[in-house]
Amino acid sequence: GQCITHCPTGGLRERDDTAKARAALADKEKITVVQVAPAVRTAWGEYFGLKREEATMERMAGALHRLGFDYVYDTNFAADLTIMEEGNEFLHRLKSGALVRWPMFTSCCPGWVRFLKGQYPELTNQLSTAKSPQQMFGAVAKTWLAKKLDVAPEKICCVSIMPCVAKKAEADLPTMRGESGADVDIVLTTRELVRMMRADHLDPHFIEEEALNSPMGTHTGAGVIFGATGGVMEAALRTAAYVLTGENPNPDAFSEVRTGPGLREATYTVAGIPVRCAVVSGLGNARKLIERLKEGKVQYDFVEVMACPGGCVGGGGQPISAEDEELYGVRGERLYTLDAENPMRFAHENPEVQALYHEYLGEPLGETAHHLLHTDHKAWNMPMQK
Residues in touch with ligand SF4 (CB under 6 A): 9, 109-111, 163-164, 166-167, 306-308, 311-312, 315
Give whichever of 71 and 112 is closer to ligand SF4, judged by the CB atom: 112
Nearer to ligand SF4, 146 or 165 (CB): 165
Select 109 or 293, whichever has its Cβ closest to ligand SF4: 109
Task: Name the minimum Å distance from CB 179 to ligand SF4.
Answer: 26
Q: Which residues contact 370 (CB under 8 A, 6 or more apart)?
A: none
Least distance to ligand SF4 from the beta carbon of 298, Å? 22
Nearer to ligand SF4, 38 or 45 (CB): 38
Min CB(350)–ligand SF4 separation in Å: 21
The dihedrals phi and psi of 37, each to the nearest 5 degrees, come to: -70, 155
Nearer to ligand SF4 by C-beta: 273 or 320? 320
Q: What angle do CA 139, 233, 293 make, to 5 degrees?
A: 110
Could you tell me the smallest distance in angstroms from the CB atom of residue 12 to ligand SF4?
A: 9
E strand or H helix that includes residue 177: strand 177-178
**Residue with Cβ nearer ligand SF4 (62 or 163):** 163
Angle between helices 283-294 and 110-119 (to 10 degrees): 40
Of all residues in the shown chain, the one whose CB is closest to ligand SF4 is 315
CB of 206 to ligand SF4, least distance (A): 30
C-alpha span between 260 and 113 (Å, rounded) = 23
Alpha helices in 249-366 (DSSP H): 283-294, 324-341, 351-356
Cis peptide before 215 (omega within 30 of 0): yes
Contact 260, 285 (CB under 8 A): no
> Which residue type is seen at 165?
V
Quote the least distance from Cβ 164 to ligand SF4, whole Å. 3
Least separation in angstroms between CB 169 and ligand SF4: 10
- Give the CA angle between residues 37, 14, 106 to the nearest 5°: 45
Residue 38 near residue 225 (C-beta atoms within 8 A): yes
Q: Which is nearer to ligand SF4, 164 or 361 (CB)?
A: 164
**Residue 381 falls in which region: left (phi positive, over 0), alpha (psi -120 to 50) or beta:** beta
The CB-of-346 to ligand SF4 minimum distance in angstroms stands at 23
Question: Strand 31-36 vs strand 156-162: parallel, antiparallel, or unpaired?
Answer: parallel
Q: Nearer to ligand SF4 by C-beta: 15 or 22?
A: 15
CB 186 → ligand SF4: shortest distance, Å? 16
User: Residue type at 357?
Assistant: Y
CA of residue 383 relative to chain centroid, distance: 25
Between 87 and 163, CB nearer to ligand SF4: 163
Dump the DSSP string for 41-104: GGTGGGGGT--TTTS-HHHHHHHHHHHT-SEEEEHHHHHHHHHHHHHHHHHHHHHTGGGS-SPE
